[in-house]
Amino acid sequence: MLALQRASALLVLFLSAFVPPPRCAQDPGMVHYIYQRFHVLEQGLQKCTQTTREYIQDFREFSKNISVMLGQCLTYTNEYKSAVNNLALRVERAQREIDYLEYLREADMCVESEDKTLAEKLLQEAEEEKKIQTLLNASCDNMLMGIKSLKIVKKTLDTDGSWMKDAVSDSPKVYFLIGSRNNTVWEFANMRALLEDSTKLGPRKLVLPQSWQGTGQVVYKGFLFFHNQGTPNEIIKYSLQKRTVEDRMLLPGGAGRALVYQHSPSTYIDLAVDEHGLWAIHAGPGLHGHLVLTKIEPGTLGVEHSWDTPCRSQDAEAGFLLCGVLYVVYSSGGHGPHHVTCVYDPRGTISEEDLPNVFFPRRPRSHSMIHYNARDKQLYAWNDGNQIIYKLQTKRKQPVK
């Protein structure tokens, strides 16, 4: 109240400084008006002061209540934390008991589980062996023992190329494919026409819709199978009679990423034919990796089975199959001697003591191709532009034990 009285006195002094005394004395109504306005202001100030005091009191009570509640929450938090820790310990003990019981159960089943795993493995191996035996069931029990003789049939100026007959057909036609990248096939009526190269019996020219890559082509049951140039692993089946592409496939297993033979710098997939049908040979992953052997169903171009062989692509120059056995020819730097130093038999019918020591007659360069013909039991080869026929020495395999 003292502060309000002082403020009123100051207000009166302030107003009196701006109101002329003579006029106020002559006009009592003005003084009365000023007094009433001041009285209203004084009442408003008193009310504001009272409200502020009430707010301050309410805030103090609220703060006190909050402090009490926070103390209770802290107590509840400690109790909850203690309960959670206790529960965690109980769960941990229960888990240890469960682990112990599981250990006892596994210990009881250990022998049974090992027996079951072994039985499943043996069954799987037996099924795999049965599948291979069914796949390679042709009546063929010969194995290569040596090269009996060679005959140079023709000589050209082309270092690389391939030539062949149909591996199973009785047709006498001879097919000539020059170079490692081309799309022209020369079809000779017979071997005599190839030797004489006469105008009367001139060859038929077949222009393929795609070019081949490498020298791994084969003719089988009237179809030419070749690696499509510009693709890593596409095999094309071309009808020599209709002159049309009948089918194509992508050879799996990373085929076509590396040279199949180190000394054949253009061949990434080598196709082969023997008594069991159509095969593909290609390099596995890695530099100079091991060769992969794949059996192909020629009708549907489906993969029947694949084998990882121990034969390396390093220092290799050619490969061929005879009675389901892979023979790989190696040489040092492409120069003689050329010899078979790796043999792989998917059926395991050739033992180590039966492995042949096969040497080819010395030639000036690596073979561009060596393919076995199951009909006349000879090897057709291309070496430094020479078209060669190798006559073979074979023997009968030992029965599978």
Read off the pLDDT of each residue in 111-130 and give the average, rounded to a whole number: 61
pLDDT at residue 19, as a whole number: 47
Above 90 in pLDDT, residue 342? yes
3-state DSSP assignment of residue 273: strand
| 381 touches 367 (CB < 8 A) | yes
111 or 104: which carries more pLDDT confidence? Answer: 104
pLDDT at residue 145, as a whole number: 92
Dihedral of CA atoms 73, 78, 81, 83 in degrees, nearest 10, equals -100
Above 60 in pLDDT, residue 22? no
**Percentage of the residues of the chain whose pLDDT score is greater than 70:** 80
pLDDT at residue 36, as a whole number: 82
Q: Taking all residues of the chain, what is their mean pLDDT, rounded to a whole number?
A: 83
Above 90 in pLDDT, residue 288? no
Above 50 in pLDDT, residue 117? yes
pLDDT at residue 106, as a whole number: 67
Question: How many beta carbons lie within 10 A of that of residue 5, not counting itself?
Answer: 10
Above 80 in pLDDT, residue 246? yes
Q: pLDDT tens for residues 360-383? A: 887 778 899 999 999 999 999 999
Above 60 in pLDDT, residue 112? no
Q: Which amino acid is at 30?
A: M
Above 70 in pLDDT, residue 84? yes
- Whole-angstrom distance, CA of residue 28 vs CA of residue 18: 16
pLDDT at residue 86, as a whole number: 75
Question: How many beta carbons lie within 10 A of that of residue 88, not counting itself?
Answer: 10
Question: How many beta carbons lie within 10 A of that of residue 145, not counting itself?
Answer: 14
12 or 145: which carries more pLDDT confidence? Answer: 145
Ramachandran angles phi, psi of 119, nearest 5°: -65, -40
Q: Which of 84-93, 216-225, 277-286 has the lowest mean pLDDT?
A: 84-93
Q: What pTM was estimated for this model as a whole?
A: 0.68
CA distances, 168 to each of 98, 173, 195, 372 (Å)? 68, 12, 22, 11
350 or 270: which carries more pLDDT confidence? Answer: 270
Asked, as a colleague might, if the bond just before 361 is cis with ω within 30 of 0, I would say no
Q: pLDDT tens for residues 158-168? A: 999 999 999 88
Read off the pLDDT of each residue in 82-98 and give the average, rounded to a whole number: 76
Above 80 in pLDDT, residue 273? yes
3-state DSSP assignment of residue 213: strand
Q: Which amino acid is at 344?
A: Y
pLDDT band at 17 (very low <50, low <70, confident <90, very high): very low
Q: pLDDT tens for residues 188-218? A: 999 999 988 655 668 999 999 999 999 999 9
3-state DSSP assignment of residue 391: strand
- Whole-angstrom distance, CA of residue 273 vs CA of residue 288: 24
| 340 touches 144 (CB < 8 A) | yes
pLDDT at residue 354, as a whole number: 77
Sign of the torsion formed by the C-alpha atoms of 309, 298, 251 and 214: positive
